[in-house]
C-alpha cells in the first residue's frame, strides 16, 4: 500500500529532512535504537506496516524506522498468556537494559483498568509523553474514559471506536422477513421481545437466529445498570439474568447453540451452508472474523447488512500504551499521534481495513458520501450508525473484574443451557469459580 507523506518526526528519524525544531530532532536522535512492541496478534503490526510513514518490514517480527530496529513480540491471549507476559516484564522495565526495554504495549477494554492504574504505574500518562487533550480532541469520550487512572490522567490512546451492531444475512432476511433493507430489518430486531419473535420465525424456516448464546452476551452485559462488583460483593444484574432466561429459551427452541466464540461451529454461519441469520459485532469484525476475502463466504459477495439491533453496545478496541521506562519517548509519541489522531492515516485505515476509527471528523466525512461504503455490507455505509453508537457508549459500570466475571459466568451457564445443571447449580459453580479467581470478593 502506498503510504502518505511522512510526518515530521518520522522524517527526522530517517534523516530525510531537517526539522525546523532542531532540538526536537536531536532529542529523537539521542534515543534508543531498538523499539520493542508487545502485542497479542498481528492487528497492530499490520496497521503500522501499512500506514505508519517510514516503517519498513524486515521479516515477520522485525522492522525498521530509520535507524531504529523495531522488534515485535507476539504472545497470544490464550490462557491469559499475554497478560502474564506483561505482568512479568513491565514492573522491571525501568531498570531493564536499553535494548530490552518495552517501549509500547497494547491493552484491551476488558482489562484496561489493570494496566492504567496509577499505583501500578506501568503505562506513562499521555501528559508525560507530551500529548495534550487538544491533540486527542477528535476522539470519542468513552475511548478515553476507559483508560483514565484514578487521577483522571489518560494513559493510552486508541485508533478504534468499537461501537457495534447486529450483522445480518441479507439472503435469509429476504427469504424469511421479505426484505433486506436495513431500516426494515431493524424493525424485526428493535428490542429483545421482537428479536425473540423473529428468532422463532427463523427456526421455523430452518435457520439459527444467532450462531450461539455467546453472540448476544456482550450486548446484554454492556447494558447493565451497575458494575459486577459493588463494595467487594459480586452482584448479578437484571440484564445479565435476562440474558440467561432468553438464552435458555432460545437453546431449548433450537434457535441457537451453546458453541464457543471463535470455534468452528460458531464460524459456520459465515458461509451460506451454516444457515445463521445474524452475528453481533463491531467494524473490526468485518475484517478479522467474517472470511470476507474467501470465495464462497457470505461476505465475499457483499451478503451482510448492519443494523443497531435490540440494544446498542461496543466490543473491544485496542489501546496503545507507552511503557514506563521506554528509551524511545519521541518515537513512541509520534506513533501514538500518527496512528490515533492523524486524519489522513485514520481515513486510510477505515477505507483499507474496514475499521471504525476513533475520529469524529473522519467518520463524519466517511458517512457523508460513498467513500464509506463497504463491499462486505453490499455497499451499505455503516459509519453514521457506528458514529452515533460511539457517542452513546457508557463506561460508568465497568470494573477491573469484568473479564473474569464475564468469562466465568458464561462458562457456568453453559451447563444450564445444555441441560447438565439447574440454574441454581450453575450459579453456584460461578460463585465458587469467581471467589477462587478473586479471593478478595464475596458473592450473593
Q: Are residues 195 and 305 in the same domain?
A: yes
| Verdict on whether the full-model pTM lies above 0.75 | yes
Q: Is residue 41 part of a domain?
A: yes
* pLDDT given for residue 400 in this prediction: 85
Q: Is residue 33 part of a domain?
A: yes
Q: Is residue 3 part of a domain?
A: no
Q: Are residues 37 and 136 in the same domain?
A: yes
* pLDDT given for residue 20 in this prediction: 33
Q: Are residues 180 and 275 in the same domain?
A: yes
Q: What are the C-alpha distances in Å from 326 to residues 31, 84, 331?
A: 9, 20, 10
Residue 211 sits in which domain range? 164-313+396-443
* pLDDT given for residue 354 in this prediction: 86
Residue identified by cell 513480540 is 73
Query: What letter would DSSP give residue 382?
Result: -
Q: Are residues 223 and 250 in the same domain?
A: yes
Contact 115, 319 (CB under 8 A): no
Q: Are residues 332 and 245 in the same domain?
A: no
- Whole-angstrom distance, CA of residue 55 vs CA of residue 222: 37
Is 60 exceeded by the pLDDT of residue 152?
yes
Give start and end residues of each alpha helix (H) in 57-205: 81-89, 112-115, 126-129, 141-145, 170-172, 182-187, 192-204
Q: Is residue 300 part of a domain?
A: yes
| Angle (CA) 390 243 438, round 5° | 85
CATH code of the domain in which 417 resides: 3.40.190.10
Q: Is residue 386 part of a domain?
A: no
Q: Is residue 204 part of a domain?
A: yes
For residues 241-252, average pLDDT: 98
Is 70 exceeded by the pLDDT of residue 285?
yes
Q: Is residue 298 part of a domain?
A: yes
Q: Is residue 136 part of a domain?
A: yes
Diameter of the chain measured on Cα atoms: 71
Q: Are residues 324 and 299 in the same domain?
A: no
- Whole-angstrom distance, CA of residue 53 vs CA of residue 3: 6
- Whole-angstrom distance, CA of residue 150 vs CA of residue 141: 16
For residues 337-341, average pLDDT: 98
Q: Are residues 301 and 321 in the same domain?
A: no
* pLDDT given for residue 27 in this prediction: 60
Question: How many domains is the chain built from?
Answer: 2
Tens-digit pLDDT profile for residues 173-202: 999 999 999 999 999 999 999 999 999 999
For residues 398-403, average pLDDT: 88
Tens-digit pLDDT profile for residues 30-54: 899 999 999 999 999 999 999 999 9
Amino acid at each position: 500500500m502506498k503510504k502518505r507523506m511522512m510526518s515530521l518526526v518520522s522524517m527526522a528519524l530517517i534523516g530525510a529532512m531537517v526539522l525546523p525544531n532542531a532540538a526536537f530532532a536531536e532529542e529523537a536522535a539521542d534515543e534508543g535504537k531498538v523499539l520493542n512492541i508487545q502485542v497479542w496478534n498481528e492487528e497492530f503490526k499490520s496497521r503500522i506496516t501499512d500506514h505508519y510513514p517510514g516503517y519498513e518490514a524486515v521479516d515477520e517480527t522485525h522492522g525498521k524506522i530509520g535507524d531504529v530496529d523495531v522488534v515485535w513480540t507476539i504472545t497470544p491471549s490464550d490462557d491469559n498468556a499475554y497478560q502474564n507476559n506483561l505482568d512479568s516484564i513491565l514492573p522491571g522495565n525501568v531498570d531493564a537494559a536499553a535494548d530490552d526495554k518495552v517501549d509500547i504495549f497494547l491493552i484491551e477494554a476488558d482489562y484496561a483498568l489493570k494496566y492504567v492504574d496509577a499505583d501500578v504505574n506501568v503505562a506513562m500518562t499521555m501528559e508525560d509523553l507530551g500529548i495534550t487533550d487538544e491533540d486527542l480532541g477528535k476522539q470519542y469520550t468513552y475511548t478515553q474514559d476507559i483508560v483514565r487512572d484514578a487521577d483522571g490522567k489518560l494513559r493510552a490512546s486508541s485508533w478504534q471506536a468499537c461501537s457495534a451492531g447486529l450483522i445480518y444475512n441479507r439472503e435469509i432476511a429476504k427469504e424469511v422477513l421479505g426484505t433486506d433493507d436495513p431500516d426494515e430489518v431493524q424493525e424485526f430486531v428493535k428490542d429483545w421481545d421482537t428479536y425473540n419473535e423473529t428468532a422463532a420465525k427463523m427456526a421455523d424456516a430452518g435457520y439459527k437466529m444467532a450462531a450461539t448464546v455467546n453472540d448476544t452476551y456482550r450486548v446484554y452485559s454492556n447494558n447493565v445498570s451497575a458494575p459486577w462488583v459493588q463494595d467487594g460483593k459480586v452482584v448479578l444484574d437484571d440484564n445479565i439474568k435476562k440474558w440467561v432466561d432468553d438464552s435458555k429459551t432460545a437453546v431449548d427452541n433450537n434457535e441457537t447453540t451453546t458453541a464457543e466464540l471463535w470455534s468452528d461451529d460458531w464460524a459456520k454461519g459465515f458461509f451460506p451452508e451454516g444457515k445463521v441469520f445474524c452475528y453481533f459485532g463491531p467494524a473490526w469484525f468485518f475484517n478479522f472474523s467474517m472470511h470476507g476475502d474467501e470465495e464462497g463466504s457470505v461476505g465475499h459477495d457483499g451478503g451482510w447488512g448492519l443494523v443497531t439491533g435490540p440494544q446498542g453496545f461496543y466490543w473491544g478496541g485496542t489501546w496503545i500504551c507507552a511503557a514506563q521506562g521506554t528509551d524511545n519517548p519521541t518515537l513512541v509519541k509520534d506513533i501514538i499521534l500518527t496512528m490515533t489522531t492523524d486524519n489522513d492515516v485514520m481515513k486510510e485505515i477505515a477505507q483499507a481495513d474496514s475499521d471504525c476509527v476513533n475520529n469524529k471528523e473522519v467518520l463524519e466525512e466517511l458517512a457523508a458520501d460513498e467513500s464509506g461504503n463497504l463491499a462486505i455490507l453490499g455497499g451499505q455505509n455503516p459509519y453514521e450508525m457506528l458514529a452515533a453508537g460511539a457517542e452513546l457508549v457508557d463506561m460508568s459500570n465497568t470494573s477491573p473484574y469484568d473479564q473474569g466475571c464475564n468469562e466465568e459466568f458464561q462458562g457456568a451457564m453453559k451447563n444450564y443451557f445444555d441441560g447438565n445443571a439447574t440454574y441454581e447449580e450453575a450459579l453456584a459453580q460461578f460463585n465458587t469459580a469467581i471467589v477462587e479467581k478473586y479471593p478478595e470478593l464475596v458473592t450473593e
